[in-house]
Amino acid sequence: MERVAAAHDEHLLADTVLRIEELDKDLYRGHHVVPPGSIKVTRIYGGRLVGQALEAATRTVATTLLANSVHTYFVRPGDLSIPVIYRVLRLRDGQSFATRSVLASQRGRPIAIVMASFHIHEPSSFEHQHPMPAVPPPESLDSTEVCLNEVLPEATEAAIDEIKMTASEALYASPFVTKKCPVHDTGVKEARMLMWLKLRDPIPSSHISHHLCLLAFMSDAWILPTAVIPHTQFQLGMMTSLDHTLWFHCPVRADEWLLYDTYSPKAVNNRALITGRLYKRDGTLAVTVVQEGLIRSKL
Could you tell me the CATH number of the domain that includes residue 142?
2.40.160.210
pLDDT at 233 over 70: yes
- Write the CA distances from 121 to 68, 82, 118, 213, integer angstroms: 10, 38, 10, 18
* pLDDT tens by residue, 132-142: 999 999 999 87
pLDDT confidence bin for 201, thresholds 50/70/90 = confident
Mapped onto helix, strand or coil, the DSSP state of residue 157 is helix
Assigned domain for 129 exists: no
What is the spatial distance between Cα 202 and Cα 11, in angstroms, rounded to a whole number? Answer: 9
* pLDDT tens by residue, 219-228: 998 899 899 8
Please tell me which residue in 52, 219, 220, 264 is annotated as part of the active site: 220
The reported pLDDT for the residue numbered 207 is 85
SS (H, E, C) 74-140: ECCCCECCCCEEEEEEEEEECCCEEEEEEEEEECCEEEEEEEEEEEECCCCCCCCCCCCCCCCCHHH
- Biggest alpha carbon–alpha carbon distance for the chain: 57
> What is the spatial order of strands in the sheet that 27-30 belongs to?
20-24, 27-30, 84-93, 97-106, 109-120, 65-74, 236-248, 285-297, 271-280, 258-268, 192-199, 176-181
- What's the structural domain count of the chain? 1
Is residue 198 a contact partner of residue 255, using CB atoms and an 8 Å limit? yes
Assigned domain for 250 exists: yes
The reported pLDDT for the residue numbered 4 is 47
- Known active-site residue 220: yes
- Known active-site residue 168: no
Assigned domain for 7 exists: no
Across 68-72, 128-132, 224-228, 274-278, least confident range = 224-228
- Known active-site residue 291: yes
Assigned domain for 6 exists: no
Nearest to 44 by CA among 287, 247, 217, 177: 217
Please tell me which residue in 241, 255, 261, 264 is annotated as part of the active site: 241
Assigned domain for 234 exists: yes
Assigned domain for 144 exists: yes
Mapped onto helix, strand or coil, the DSSP state of residue 294 is strand
Assigned domain for 3 exists: no
What is the spatial distance between Cα 245 and Cα 169, in angstroms, rounded to a whole number? Answer: 20
Assigned domain for 110 exists: yes
The reported pLDDT for the residue numbered 80 is 84
- Average pLDDT, integer, range 270-277: 97
The range of the structural domain enclosing residue 101 comes to 12-122+138-297
What is the spatial distance between Cα 22 and Cα 237, in angstroms, rounded to a whole number? Answer: 39
* pLDDT tens by residue, 76-130: 999 888 999 999 999 999 999 999 999 999 999 999 999 999 999 999 899 999 9
pLDDT at 157 over 70: no
Angle at 199 between CA 26 and CA 99, to 5 degrees: 25
